C-alpha cells in the first residue's frame, strides 16, 4: 500500500490519531521508536529549528521540502502529513508543491488560505478571498490524483472574517474534494462542533499551538469529534528546555546536565548499534 492508502486505512479505524510534530531526522526517529505510525511535519517546528524564530511564513518551500526528506529518511515507515502552508503561491504553485510531496512519499499535505506574504506584523491571519481559496484547494485535489496524496484543507479566516465565513469555507472545501478539514483558531467548543459538522463526516484535524491555553487530552479531542490531533510544543518545548539545561551546565563548569542521557543511551538512541549490524556484511575480511 502507498503511504496515502495506509493513512486512509488508518483514518477508517476507530479512535483518535495522535501525530507528533516533527522537524528533522532526530525528532522523526524518536517518534517512530516511541511507536507512532504517523507524524506531522510542522511549519512552526521547522521554523524554530531552521531559523531559530517564530512561524511567520518565512520558511520557503525548499527548506520545508528538505526537512521532509530528512524526516522521511530517518523514519521511512512513518506516515507523514506535510505542512505546505499556503502552497507557496498561486494555484499553479500549489499543484507543483502537491506533486513534489506526493512523489517524495508524503501521506498527506496541508494547504491553507492565508495571504502571503503576510502583513508586517505577527498578529492576525488575513486570508485570500473565498473563491481564490476554492481554486487553491481545487488545484491541490487535482494534482493529488497523480500520487493519491491526501489533501488537508485549512482555513485561517476565523479571527479576521468570523465563524460563518470559516464554516462556509470548510463546506466549500468538502465540495472540492478535500480529504481532511481543519478550522484554525476556533473561539470555543461550539465553533469546533460546527466546523466538524461542516466536514460532513470527513476527518477533522486539530492543532494546539498555544502554550498558554489548556491543551485537551486525546480522549477529550476525540469526544469533540476530531480524528487527528497534533501538539507542536509537546516535543519542541522540552527539546528547548533540554538544550538550555545543557548550556547552563556548561556555564556552571559541569560536563553535562543532570537530565542528560547516559553515554550508552545516547549511542543507542542514535542507532550506533544498528549501523554496525548493517555495515557488517561489507567489512573486508570480516
Residue 264 has pLDDT above 80, yes or no: yes
Residues 6 or more apart whose CB falls under 8 angstroms from that of 156 comprise 112, 113, 114, 125, 127, 184, 185
Q: Residues 263, 168: one domain?
A: no
Of the pLDDT bands very low, low, confident and very high (cuts 50, 70, 90), residue 286 is low
> Do residue 119 and residue 260 come from a single domain?
no
CATH code, domain carrying 124:
3.20.20.60
If asked whether residues 166 and 250 sit together in one domain, one would say no
187, 166 in Cβ contact below 8 A?
no
Residues 157 and 268 in one domain: no
Predicted local distance difference test score (pLDDT) of residue 211: 45
- Asked whether residue 1 carries a pLDDT value surpassing 50, the answer given is yes
| pLDDT-based confidence at residue 174 (cuts at 50, 70, 90) | very high
Give the tens place of pLDDT for each residue, 81-119. 999 999 999 999 999 999 999 999 999 999 999 998 887
DSSP letter assigned to residue 183: E
Domain boundary among the residues 196, 216, 232 is at 232
197 plus 121 within the same structural domain: yes
Q: pLDDT tens-digit profile of 199-255?
A: 999 999 988 765 455 567 788 888 889 999 998 999 999 999 999 999 999 999 999
226 shares a domain with 249 = no
Mean pLDDT of 58-74: 97
- Mean pLDDT for 147-161 is 96
In tens, the pLDDT along 19-60 reads 999 999 999 999 999 999 999 999 999 999 999 999 999 999
pLDDT over 80 (residue 257): yes
How high is the pLDDT of residue 123?
75
Residues 19 and 155 in one domain: yes
What's the pTM value of the predicted model, to 2 decimals? 0.94
The verdict on 258 and 215 lying in the same domain is no
The verdict on 205 and 147 lying in the same domain is yes
Q: Give which of 64, 61, 54 is closest to 23, Cα–Cα.
A: 64
Query: 38 and 89 share a domain?
Result: yes
Residue 195 sits in the same domain as residue 119: yes
- State yes or no: pLDDT of 15 exceeds 80: yes
Distance CA 204, CA 242 (A): 33
Name beta bridge partners: 179. none
Overall number of domains in the chain: 2
Domain span at residue 204? 3-232
Mean of pLDDT over the chain: 94
Distance CA 154, CA 249 (A): 42
Domain identity same for 99 and 220: yes
Amino acid at each position: 500500500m502507498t503511504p496515502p492508502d495506509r493513512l486512509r486505512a488508518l483514518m477508517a479505524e476507530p479512535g483518535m490519531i495522535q501525530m507528533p510534530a516533527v522537524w528533522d531526522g532526530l525528532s522523526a526517529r524518536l517518534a517512530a521508536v516511541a511507536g507512532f505510525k504517523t507524524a506531522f511535519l510542522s511549519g512552526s517546528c521547522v521554523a524554530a529549528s531552521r531559523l531559530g524564530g517564530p512561524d511567520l511564513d518565512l520558511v520557503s518551500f525548499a527548506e520545508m521540502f528538505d526537512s521532509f526528506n530528512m524526516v522521511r529518511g530517518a523514519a521511512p515507515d512513518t506516515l507523514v502529513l506535510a505542512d505546505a502552508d499556503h502552497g507557496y503561491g498561486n494555484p499553479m504553485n500549489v499543484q507543483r508543491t502537491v506533486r513534489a510531496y506526493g512523489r517524495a512519499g508524503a501521506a498527506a499535505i496541508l494547504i491553507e488560505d492565508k495571504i502571503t506574504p503576510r502583513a508586517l506584523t505577527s498578529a492576525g491571519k488575513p486570508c485570500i478571498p473565498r473563491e481564490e481559496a476554492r481554486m487553491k484547494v481545487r488545484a491541490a485535489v487535482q494534482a493529488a490524483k497523480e500520487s493519491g496524496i491526501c489533501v488537508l484543507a485549512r482555513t485561517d479566516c476565523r479571527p479576521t472574517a468570523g465563524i460563518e465565513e470559516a464554516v462556509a469555507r470548510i463546506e466549500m472545501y468538502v465540495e472540492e474534494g478535500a480529504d481532511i478539514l481543519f478550522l484554525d483558531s476556533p473561539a470555543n467548543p461550539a465553533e469546533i462542533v460546527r466546523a466538524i459538522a461542516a466536514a460532513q463526516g470527513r476527518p477533522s484535524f486539530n492543532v494546539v499551538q498555544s502554550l498558554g491555553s489548556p491543551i485537551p487530552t486525546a480522549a477529550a479531542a476525540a469526544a469533540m469529534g476530531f480524528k487527528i490531533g497534533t501538539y507542536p510544543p509537546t516535543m519542541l518545548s522540552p527539546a528547548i528546555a533540554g538544550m538550555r539545561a545543557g548550556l547552563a551546565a556548561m556555564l556552571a563548569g559541569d560536563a553535562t546536565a543532570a537530565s542528560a542521557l547516559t553515554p550508552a543511551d545516547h549511542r543507542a538512541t542514535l542507532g550506533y548499534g544498528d549501523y554496525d549490524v548493517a555495515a557488517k556484511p561489507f567489512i573486508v575480511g570480516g
